[in-house]
Structure 1
Amino acid sequence: MNPRRRFIKYSALTTAGILASPALLQAKRRIAPSDQIRVGLIGANNMGFGILRHHLALPEVVCAGICDIDQNVLDRRIKEVNDLTGKSPERFTDFRKLLEKKDLDAVIIGTPDHWHCLIATAACEAGKDVYVEKPMANSIGECDLMAQAASNYGRIMQVGQQQRSGQAFIESRELVKSGYLGKIRKVNIWSNFNYGLGNLKKSPTPVPDGVDYDFWLGPAPKRDFNPNRFHGSWRHFWDYGGGLMSDWGVHLLDMAIWIEENPAAPSRVLTYASNVNLENRDRDTFDTMNVLYPKKDFLINYDMNGGLQTGPYGKPYGIGYVGEKGTLVVNRNGYEIYPEWDPEAKAPKIEAKKLEGMKESHNLHVANFVECIKTRNQTICPPEAGRIAALHAHIPNIAARVGAEELIWNDAKREFEGNKAANELVWPSYREPWVLPKG
C-alpha cells in the first residue's frame, strides 16, 4: 500500500475513536480475546506513554503491562490506564520479566536511547513485535544489531519517525518524486529550538524516592545522580542520547532521505559544530551545527541552532526541497510551494500549492504498526529506514566529538575510512553486568 493510501486508511481508523469514550470502550468489549493485540510499555514517563495512548485508542489493543524504574511514574501511569480503559495493566520494574509474558504480542520502547538496543533485541528474541522511539539507538553499531534481530526472529518493528505517516510529508514526497518541482538541487533543513541549549547547571542530589537509578543507568557509565541527566533532559549527554541532532535530526533528515531514488547511508559528511552558548549550561552535546551530506541525487544541508526559536520562512524548523521550478517548504503544520519565475514566459514556472492545518501523526504511525502486526507486512518506517536516518545524525555527532571536519563512512564495512578515533565511537562500551547483544 502506498503512503497516501496508508494515510487515508489509518486516518479513518483513528480520527473517529476518542480514548475512553463509551463507544470505544464498547468496541473494545466486542473484540474477541483471540483477536486482541496485547502490548506492553517499557519506559512510561513521557513519549512512551503518549504512544501507548494512541495504541489504546484502537479497539483491538489492550495494555497488558507497564514497566518503569520509577515507582512514581509507574503508579501514575497504571492509574491513568485504569481510568481510561477500566483495567489495570500488570506492573513491572524489570523489562525482562515483562518479556516473559507468553500472551504479550508487542512492546513499546519509550526509554532513553541508550536502552533501545538491549530491550529491542531481547523483545525480538522473546517473539514480540517492537515499536521503538527514535532515534533507533544511541550508536551506529546498536542500530545494526536491532535490524538484524528483527530480521533473524521475523519480528515487525516500527521506528518512531512518525512524519512518514503525516499527510503533509506524504504529499510533499509525492510532489517531489513526481517531478513537479523539476530536478531537485538540494534539500535545506533547519531546526531551531530553545531546549537545545540544555539546562542550567545543577549540583548532584540524592536519588529520588522510588527510583532504581542503577537500573536506569543500565549499560551506561556509573555516575552520581543529577536531575539534569534524568527525566526530560538526559538527551543532552552522550551516555544516553545525541542532543538536538539526534532528537530532531532523525525526523527531518529522514524526510530528505525518503525522496532519494535508493535511500542509503551517507558516505561523505562535512560537519561544523560548536557550543556557542556556554552560560552555565550542563550538556555534552552541541548547540550549533551545520552539516553537508553530498548525496548521489542532491545535496542535503542541515542547519541546527539550539537556543534560537525562529528560522527561514518564519518557521522554527522545516524542510525545503529546492527544485529547478520551485521550492517546497514543509513542516508538521503543512506545506507551501514557492514557484520560480520564468522570465521568458513572464509567469511562474509552476502553480503555487499550499496545505495548512495539519496535526501530529503519531496516531497514524501507531495504526500502521498495529495493522502490520496483524498482516505481517513491512511497516512504513522499518528497521533499515531507522538505521539510515540514525546514521545521518550519529555521524556528524561523532565528527564533532573527535574534531573531524570531514568523515568518510563505508557502509559495506560499517566503518570510517582513515579515522581511528571515529571508529572507536561506532560501538558503545557497556557497563557490567550488561552485555552488548550479539548480531
Structure 2
Amino acid sequence: MKKCIAVIAAAALIMGTAAGCQSGGSSSTAVSKAASAAKSPTNITIWYENDQTIGDALQKQLDSLAPNVKVKLQRKDKMTDALKLVGNDTQGAPDMFFFAHDKAGIFAEMGILSPITDLISKDSLSDFIPMTLNAGTYKGTLYQLPIYFETQMFMYNKKLMKVPPKTTDELLKFAKENTKNGTYGFVEQHSTAYYAVSWMHAFGGYVIDKDSKPGLNLKGTIDSLSYHKQFVQYQPADGDYNTMTTLFKEGKAASTINLPNLAADAKNSGIDVGYATMPTIPSGKPLAPYSGVQGIYVLKSAGANKKDAVTQVLQTLAKPEAGIAMSKVTNDAPANNKSYADSEIASNEIVKTLKASADTVVPMPNVPAMDVMWSVTENMLTAVNKKNANPKTEADKAQQDALAQIADMK
C-alpha cells in the first residue's frame, strides 16, 4: 500500500512539473509575440517624378528591406512645386525623394534637407565617380546620394560619316562639305542654353558658377559665341529640338550632339549609330556639356525621426547592384564605379561613352539663381545665332540682365 501511494505521489509530481514547463513555454511564446508586435515596421515614402519604370526599378531594389522597413515609391508630378508646398510637414511630405541634382540648392535653402553624410559615412562613398558627388554638393554639403548620370554625346550615322572628327575644325570642314540637298553634316540645338554650354566650357566660359556669379561676358564665353557661330550657318536656322532630332532619326543628318535617348530612338528607326568622344577646339580642350545626376534626397524630418530606416535605404541604393539595375532601365551611367564590373553594363556602348566623359563634363549648376539664367542665356544665343548680332555686345547685355534678375531674387 505504501509503495502504491509513493508511485501515485511521484506521478503527480511529474505531471506538475510538466504542467509547469508547459506554462513557462506558453509565457515565453507570449513574450516573443509581444516583442515582435512591439517592433512594427518603419514605413518610408519616396517620391519620384520620372517614368514609372524607374519607380518600379527602385521599388524592386528596396523591397529587400522588408519586413523591418517597408518602402513605398510614389510618383509625383511637378516635384519642385510639391515640395515647396509641403516642406517638412510630416503629414504631407515624403521621407525621401528621387530627383535631379540641379535643384539641391533650392531645397537646401528651404531648410528641408538632411545631409547625406549625417546618415552614411563618407568612406561608404569612396567608390563613387567624384563628379556625381560634386553635383549634389551645395555650399560644401552633400545633399544627394547619386545613382546614375546622363550627359550629351557625340553620335553619328555610320552610313553618312565613316570616321568621326577628333577636332571641331574637322567637324566644321565636314559640315561644309556634306550640307546640301536637304541633308546636313552636323546638327544641334545651337541656340538652346543647355546645348550651347559645351562650347562655352571648352573656351573657359560658363553660364554661372557655384557662387551664383554669371559668366556671360567672360572672354571665354564671348570667344565661344564667335567660334560656334561658324557652325550655325550649316544647320537649320531654328535650331529646334524636333527639327534636329527628326533629321538624325530620318538619316538626313550625319552627326549630332544630344542625349542618350536620341541614340536609342535613332537605332529603333534603323540608323546605325556610332559614338565618339567630344571633339576638341583649337586649344585642345574638348567640348564639355552639362551632366545631370539622378539620386536620392532625405527630408530633415525623416533624417531625425526615422534615421535607422533611412540609413538602410541609403545603404541599399549605394550598392553597385542599384546602379546596375537602374542603368539597365535608363541606359544611363551608374554613379558607383563598381557597377561597371557587370558584363551587360560594361558592354553597353552608350553607357561606356557616358562613363568616359565623366572627367570632362560639368555638373549643371545647382544654385537657385540658375533658374533665371536659362532665358537670359537663350536670349543672347538667339540674338547672336539667328539675328547676326555682335557676340560681345549681346554678352555684355545678357550679363547685366542676369545680375539684375539675380538681385531681384534676394
TM-score range (shorter-chain normalised) is 0.3 to 0.5
TM-score, structure 1 length as denominator?
0.33
Which has the larger strand fraction? 1
TM-score, structure 2 length as denominator?
0.35
Q: Which has the larger radius of gyration?
A: 2
Which has the larger helix fraction? 2
Between the two structures, name the one with larger relative contact order (CA 8 Å, sep ≥ 6).
2
